[in-house]
Amino acid sequence: MSAWHEPDRTGVEDFLKVSQFRQRSCVTYRTILRSFEDVARRHPTVDRQMLEAWLGEMTTRWKLPTLLNQVCIVDRFLDHLVEMELIPNNPVADLRRQHNVKQNKPIWRALASSSPDEALAALHQPAPFGSVLGGFMRDHVALMRNRGYQYEAQAYWLLRFDRFLQAHPELAGEPLETMLKHWAATKPTRNHAAECQKLGRILTKARHRLDPNIQPKRFNPRPEREVARLHRRPHIFSSADIQHMLDVARCYPSPHAPLRPQTLYTMILLAYCAGLRRSELAWLDLGDVDLRSGTITVRETKFYKTRILPLSDSIMVELRAYLDARRRAGAPQDPQSGLFWQDHFKGRYAPVVVTTMITNVMRRAGFKPPSGRKGPRVHDLRHSMVVNRILQWYRAGINPQGRLHFLSTYLGHRDINSTLVYITVTQDLLQEASERFRVVGAPCLNGEALS
């Protein structure tokens, strides 16, 4: 009996054709999917038992880490079978929802283990907002998002607190202050203490909104100040550093993706010269580049802002060169296609891949160690753009205070206070500011002395 009715066995080839993988990748993917199909045809349905049987056979041929790196293609194939109505559902997705797991790979690892039941039980996460305060916190998150806030970090804090309350049902009848006190005691770190202070402020304000008789409680601001004091200072790249990074990007080794060096070069150019965030780079469309007016449009990003950014003539020359290379590489010319295009998967780089690629350039350029999180971040290119722009204004005799609101708009900030966070006082910037003060203030001091 077959797991899905398909007498001509064209499902694998149809999937590979629709997905438009590279030829070399299709060879490996076809081998994996054919083995999966052979096992599936010996089972009445595609279910957990069938997946375990296939994994058992494959582990005799492949090492487990290698196999787990390849199961993503089976995930996509299962979704394809569901879409074509050849199977009713994806069993991996069902297990993920059952155990509240965000990714598929832990499910595959559990199924490939010697004790799948125990491994799946260890993966199980409590249901979101299932605690005694779950409904109250869920409604608060929904309210804030309906008001236009993204509320991602705050929702994450509330979910963590919710999981803690589910794990400690004895706190169900205690006051909120007692719950927060026990939550703060779970970790001795400054970051956790600061998070607890913010969480307490959020919840007491939410309670006050529902019942004005409950007064918001004042919390100790010291933990948050200590965290802010210890926060890692951004790395400010000089113009020479940026040029070195661009040179490394142009020579980036990529024999199987010839467009990638030009892509990296253009990404770094826009991240620094236009101050774009990684997500803004990833979601740029081809139609967002206007070569006539020399602008790019950044749509619906942080704070739901859309902005049109003018670029210098030299940057537009590089953008034209990239667009020509992109067209020669066979990229689609549809205005809705990704500006930074790749020839597989979804056709554009995800934000996390953008971070990985630019970070690899930083490592090759010697700004970061070969591994680890130490050293500059991709977001430091945006910090460097702000500091170097203010430095150029000083050297041109322009008062930066009169231009900060323009810079804030260009960066897509909510207000000028967000821009001030990006101003890192470097030695060059301090020297230029001191010189400006000397030119303006010295005559005044001399005049007072003479009078």
Q: Per-residue pLDDT tens for 251-302?
A: 999 888 899 999 999 999 999 999 999 999 999 999 999 999 999 999 988 7
Same domain, 201 and 278: no
Choice between 120 and 215, residue whose per-residue pLDDT is larger: 120
Distance in angstroms (rounded) separating the CA atoms of residues 89 and 102? 17
Same domain, 362 and 254: yes
Q: Is 277 a catalytic residue?
A: yes
Residue 170 is inside which H or E element, if any? none
Distance in angstroms (rounded) separating the CA atoms of residues 429 and 432? 5
Domains: count for the chain: 4
Contact call for residues 177 and 214 (beta carbons, < 8 A): no
Examine residue 336 and state whether it is found in any structural domain, yes or no: yes
Residue 307: phi and psi, rounded to 5, are -140, 150
Same domain, 61 and 182: no
Residue burial 5-14, b: 16+ Cβ < 10 Å; e: rest: ebeeeebbee
Q: Which of 355, 378, 401 is the last residue before a domain boundary? A: 378
Examine residue 6 and state whether it is found in any structural domain, yes or no: no
Q: Which position has the token pair 């205005």?
A: 335
- The CB-based long-range contact list for 175-183 (8 Å cut-off, 24+ gap) reads 176/133, 176/200, 176/203, 176/204, 176/207, 177/217, 179/133
Structure tokens at 16: 């590979």
Same domain, 96 and 175: no
Please, what sign has the CA dihedral across residues 202, 207, 209, 215? negative
Query: In terms of residue numbers, what domain contains 344?
Result: 239-378
Q: What is the pLDDT of residue 7?
A: 60
Same domain, 138 and 204: yes
Examine residue 257 and state whether it is found in any structural domain, yes or no: yes
Residue 171 is inside which H or E element, if any? none
- The pLDDT confidence band at residue 186, using thresholds 50, 70 and 90, is very high
Same domain, 141 and 164: yes
Residue 215 has pLDDT above 90, yes or no: no
pLDDT in tens, 367-418: 999 988 889 999 999 999 999 999 999 888 888 888 999 999 999 988 888 8
Examine residue 2 and state whether it is found in any structural domain, yes or no: no
Examine residue 347 and state whether it is found in any structural domain, yes or no: yes
Distance in angstroms (rounded) separating the CA atoms of residues 21 and 343? 8
Instruction: Enumerate helices (H) and strands (E) in the chain, giving the number of each.
Output: 21, 3
Structure tokens at 70: 């390849």
Distance in angstroms (rounded) separating the CA atoms of residues 440 and 447? 12
Q: Which of 344, 378, 412 is the last residue before a domain boundary? A: 378
Residue 156 has pLDDT above 60, yes or no: yes
pLDDT in tens, 335-357: 999 999 987 756 889 999 999 99
Residue type, 208: H
Distance in angstroms (rounded) separating the CA atoms of residues 367 and 384? 14
- The pLDDT confidence band at residue 191, using thresholds 50, 70 and 90, is confident
Structure tokens at 3: 């797991």
Considering only 57-61, 260-264, 437-441, which range has the smallest mean pLDDT? 437-441
Percent above pLDDT 90 for the chain: 46
Q: What is the pLDDT of residue 449?
A: 46
Active-site pick, 299, 302, 348, 436: 302
Percent above pLDDT 70 for the chain: 91
Q: Which position has the token pair 């230029």?
A: 432
What average pLDDT does range 167-182 have in this prediction? 91
CATH number of the domain that residue 329 is part of:
1.10.443.10
Q: What is the pLDDT of residue 16?
A: 87
What average pLDDT does range 94-106 have in this prediction? 88
Same domain, 223 and 255: no
Same domain, 59 and 142: no
Examine residue 272 and state whether it is found in any structural domain, yes or no: yes
Same domain, 244 and 226: no
Q: What is the pLDDT of residue 309?
A: 95
Q: What is the pLDDT of residue 451?
A: 47
Residue 136 has pLDDT above 80, yes or no: yes
- The pLDDT confidence band at residue 1, using thresholds 50, 70 and 90, is very low
Q: What is the pLDDT of residue 450?
A: 43
Active-site pick, 260, 277, 278, 368: 277
Q: Which of 378, 407, 422 is the last residue before a domain boundary? A: 378
Same domain, 27 and 65: yes
Same domain, 374 and 392: no
Same domain, 42 and 118: yes
Examine residue 419 and state whether it is found in any structural domain, yes or no: yes
Q: Of 198, 175, 333, 330, give the one whose Cα is nearest residue 257.
A: 330
Please, what sign has the CA dihedral across residues 214, 215, 216, 222? negative
List Cα–Cα distances, 412 to 4, 274, 298, 355, in angstroms. 51, 11, 9, 20
List Cα–Cα distances, 276 to 239, 269, 322, 359, 428, in angstroms. 17, 10, 17, 15, 24
Examine residue 4 and state whether it is found in any structural domain, yes or no: no
151 Rama class: left (phi>0) / alpha (psi -120 to 50) / beta: left
Residue 336: phi and psi, rounded to 5, are -85, -5
